[in-house]
């Protein structure tokens, strides 16, 4: 039986409604969709959108969003707008951080969103870093680990999948991987003692998905970016650190990839390296090109069927987490009272020191 390659893809789209071109992909078993500010206008529109996405899909589907907090907050009021991770870490209260993550997760579930692409587990060791900064919980692995685990636990309590990102660690870079390929020059010993530490702990705690960054890490692999490296995805993340869950690519349309290879070739190499879910967030033409490239690699034998089947099985296990996660956790009426509720605002106020 030919495997369902669409199940390996998570895509973005433009607009406030489901595009006609996306509907057949959903009907044929697309793995997921990711929502951005361009898709999210107000609560009523969001409820309609997620309901329409689910209705177009025959089976389990990831509906994801980057609701980290701070400058990476996608959902509009009345949804909670958490502060930057650095402020949460500085507050020093992991129990409160877990409560806030649980509240954020409850609001996501009520709105029909079952996957939060958070927390950031990068250790912010380079003050010149243009992309991480206050998205990190701290400048040492202990702080990042403590608060990252609290957020993962809080989201799980709400029935929302968490994602540990950006493996192997984006904290000591000077370039933004949205535009170019950052270089991270740590020694192997430094990688293992600092950058890997929060991810190691998150894996032990059962985080279901890990996102891989587009980085040049010569001490780990001098020949391939981290997101396309078998040494890093299979050798380190899966074998050394023991991660058996879903490996997600960062957006394959980012400059860290597209300045060096086309999206189709990158998609094939990511799967060859040991990845599972391909994130292609912007351009439908590139999304179809990536799907065609993966199909061609499967037909030619470059991608063995067993590789695809293993990725789809890991995704299937992920879909089976949190029974009922593929339906909203509340009726629309309940969602309106839950989202931005006084209880949730009180938790946020405590974090903010109000």
347's CB contacts (< 8 A; 6+ apart) are 96, 99, 100, 103
| Cβ contact 89:83 at 8 Å | no
Burial class (CB in 10 A: 0-12, 13-18, 19+), 46: buried
Element (H, E) at 63: strand 62-65
3-class SS at 67?
A: coil
Burial class (CB in 10 A: 0-12, 13-18, 19+), 222: exposed
| CB hemisphere CA count around 319 (13 angstroms) | 19
| Cβ contact 74:65 at 8 Å | yes
- How many helices (H) and strands (E) would you count in the chain? 14, 8
Q: Which position among 66, 122, 172, 250 bears the catalytic label?
A: 250
Q: Which position among 178, 179, 288, 326 bears the catalytic label?
A: 178
The two tokens of residue 13 are: 């789209």
Would you call 250 a catalytic residue per the annotation?
yes
Would you call 178 a catalytic residue per the annotation?
yes
Rg (CA), the chain: 19
Q: List, by residue number, the catalytic residues.
A: 178, 250
């Amino acid at each position: 039986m030919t495997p369902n390659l669409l199940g390996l893809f998570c895509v973005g789209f433009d607009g406030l409604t489901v595009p006609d071109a996306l509907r057949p992909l959903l009907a044929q078993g697309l793995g997921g969709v990711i929502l951005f500010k361009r898709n999210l206008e107000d609560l009523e529109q969001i409820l309609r959108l997620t309901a329409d996405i689910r209705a177009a899909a025959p089976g389990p589907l990831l509906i994801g969003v980057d609701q980290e907090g701070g400058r990476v907050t996608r959902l509009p009021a009345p949804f909670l707008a958490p502060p930057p991770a650095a402020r949460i870490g500085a507050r020093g209260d992991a129990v409160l951080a877990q409560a806030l993550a649980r509240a954020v997760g409850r609001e996501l579930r009520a709105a029909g969103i079952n996957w939060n692409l958070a927390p950031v587990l990068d250790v912010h060791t380079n003050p010149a870093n243009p992309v991480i900064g206050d998205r990190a919980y701290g400048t040492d692995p202990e702080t990042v680990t403590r608060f990252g685990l609290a957020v993962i636990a809080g989201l799980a309590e709400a029935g929302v999948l968490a994602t540990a990102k950006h493996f192997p660690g984006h904290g000591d870079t000077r370039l933004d991987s949205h535009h170019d390929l950052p270089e991270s020059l740590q020694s192997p010993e430094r990688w293992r003692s600092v950058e890997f530490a929060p991810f190691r702990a998150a894996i032990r705690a059962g985080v279901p998905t890990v996102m891989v960054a587009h980085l040049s890490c010569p001490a780990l692999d001098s020949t391939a970016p981290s997101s396309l490296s078998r040494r890093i995805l299979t050798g380190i993340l899966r074998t050394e650190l023991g991660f058996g869950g879903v490996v997600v690519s960062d957006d394959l349309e980012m400059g860290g990839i597209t300045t060096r290879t086309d999206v189709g070739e990158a998609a094939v190499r990511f799967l060859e390296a040991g990845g599972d879910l391909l994130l292609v967030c912007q351009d439908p033409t590139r999304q179809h090109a990536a799907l065609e490239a993966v199909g061609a690699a499967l037909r030619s034998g470059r991608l063995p069927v067993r590789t695809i089947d293993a990725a789809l099985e890991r995704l299937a296990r992920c879909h089976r987490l949190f029974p009922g996660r593929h339906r909203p956790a509340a009726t629309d009426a309940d969602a309106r009272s839950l989202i931005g509720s006084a209880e949730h605002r009180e938790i946020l106020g405590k974090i903010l020191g109000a």
